[in-house]
Structure 1
Amino acid sequence: MTKTVAKLSISEHKRVNDDHFILTLKKDGVFPEIKPGQFVNVLVEDTDVFLRRPFSIHDADTKQQSFSLLIKAVGKGTKSLQSKKVGDTLDVLFPLGNGYSLQENNKVLLVGGGFGIAPLYYLAKQLKDKVEDIHLLVGARSAKHILLTEKFDGLATVHITTEDESLGEKGYVTNHSILEDDFDKIYTCGPHPMTKALALYALNREISCEVSLENMMACGYGVCLCCVAETKTHENVTTCLQGPVFNAKELQW
């Protein structure tokens, strides 16, 4: 995989809600192949934030030579990005990591916990011509924390769960009734407790499962070692290089 460091122009800045926004970045010249589940590292140049900030690729368009990032404004770096305007440029290292595999299947389930929905939209688009029946299960604390499910219209059947029962079924995604169905494969991204529970669920049912880990990633090169995960053979692998997407059966849960 070829990594590129480039100054990319912001072609669209879209508000999702008070805390979330989508930046679409455009690159002139050669545009690298981008796989669902890969991420980028963005340098925030106008702050004292030293390390690049990692973001999942939310969508990509090879013809337009662009990709988009779903970002939550929570600190200096992301709030600085929120203030950017169309036409501004960002220093971006991309694409990074290994993405989800795209196989033909009859019925698959995509599971996103909270902000974990970010990489699943591009994944659903890439699976559309390969999978007959795609289901999306998303969960959050309440209805106001459910993000962008309307974008999946025509791509997947959407199922929702909230902890306060303000939308969909009550509880966690791991308690949703859709898990009583049979699936050929599960793709997931979200907080570690959710990812672990789904991985164990899939392993117990002998369902193929790919998980995207949300480990802290700083360098993107596997040098800082702050993103390591343990495999079943008790080896340490770096999430930024060998991941962030792993086969669930390879990891030590």
Structure 2
Amino acid sequence: MVIISNERLADQVYRMCLDGDTSLITAPGQFINIKVPGFYLRRPISISDYDDEGVTIIYKVVGNGTDVLSRMQPGEKLMCLMGLGNGFDVNACGEHTLIVGGGVGTPPMYGMAKALLALGKRVTVVLGFNSKSDVFYEEEFKELSRLLSGIELDVRVSTVDGSWGTKGFVTDCLKGLDDVTDYCACGPIPMLKALYNHFNGKILGQLSFEERMGCGFGACVGCSINTKSGFKKVCKDGPIFWSQDVFFKS
């Protein structure tokens, strides 16, 4: 695929737009595996948005591979494996879906919100970050609602240090949302566990896990999580699992 743009969004967070075949992408929440020049292992990165002509990814610089990725320029090419993972089940969502993104778990939630709004569903978005310097895509979510539904989207933001939005965690932004029918979330495991505990298992959630992946094909079992039907590989069986099927460590 050809890099169209590669820009900084927040502290160590970048958005890259790629031009190429996206026919293998079938659902929001899937990911791609990128072959970064000079590195053997591919980098799995969630898909934020896509259309017939290209894909948008958002990634955080956390090591040498993503550092190289952040310095790549428009016109350069990347080898990408597309449409990996199961993706969110849009048809399983009810009339009012809560969309939750934590840090770099935010990108795939943009695509899910877009899909639900296109179906005329009611959506509330909650985004969680450590600090104001980490916040990104708040305005993009708001603009998305204006483009697709014409109705202002309820977008709430929390920061751990209180420098932007509500001080605390995503669960501190859930007041007044008693009519939520279901939720979809991506972020750190403590955040996913907190959401599950908040709803006390009374409503179903689709949880996207951010486990580190080695191969991306299910061969190395490095990204396994414990579920009620045994250990599952995030890269092959996920990355999305139903909340009631996951065992969270106490």
Say yes or no: TM over 0.5.
Answer: yes
Q: State whether residues 24 and 68 of structure 1, in contact with CA within 8 Å, keep that contact through their aligned partners in structure 2.
A: yes
**Aligned pair 1:187/2:184, yes or no?**
yes
Give the Cα separation in 1 of the matches to 2:160 and 2:116.
29
Corresponding residue for residue 198 of structure 1: 195
Q: Deviations over 1:66-87 (max 9, x none)?
A: 0011011221100111111111
Normalization by structure 1: what TM-score?
Answer: 0.89
Unaligned runs of at least 5 residues, structure 2? 146-152
Q: Contact between 1:108 and 1:131, CA under 8 Å: does it hold in 2?
A: no
Residue 24 of structure 1 aligns with which residue?
17
CA distance in 1, matches of 2:141, 2:74: 26
Match of 1:56, as an amino acid? S
Q: Which runs of 5+ in 1 are unaligned?
A: 1-7
Q: Check if 1:212 corresponds to 2:208.
A: yes
Matching residue of 1:4: none
Native 8 Å contact 2:10 2:135 kept in 1: no
Higher helix share: 2
Q: Deviations over 1:222-243 (max 9, x none)?
A: 001000011113x111100110
Please give the per-residue CA displacement for 1:143-193, whole angstroms capped at 9, x wherever unaligned: 111111100114231011112221121111122243652211100000010
Pair 1:123 & 2:120 matched: no
CA shift in 2, pair 1:226/1:179, >3 Å? farther
Indicate yes or no: 2:242 matched with 1:247. yes
Q: Equivalences for 1:1-253 in 2 at 5 Å?
A: 8-28=1-21, 31-46=23-38, 49-62=39-52, 65-103=53-91, 105-153=94-142, 154-155=144-145, 156-178=153-175, 180-202=177-199, 204-233=200-229, 235-253=230-248
Amino acid at match of 1:246: F
Does structure 2 retain, via aligned residues, the 8 Å contact 1:34–1:60? no
SS in 1 for 2:80: strand
Mapped partners of 2:176, 2:192: distance in 1 = 14
RMSD after superposition: 1.7
1:17 is matched by which residue type in structure 2? A
Deviation of 1:36 (Å)? 0.7
> TM-score of the superposition, structure 2-length normalised?
0.90
Contact 2:25 2:82 in 1 (8 A): no
CA distance in 2, matches of 1:92, 1:129: 28
SS at 2:90's partner residue? coil
What is the aligned length?
239
CA deviation vs aligned residue, 1:28-68 (integer Å, no higher than 9, x gap): 5x73233111001111123xx32111100011012xx2001
- Deviation of the 1:99 alpha carbon: 0.5
Would you say the 8 A contact 1:108–1:183 is kept in 2?
yes
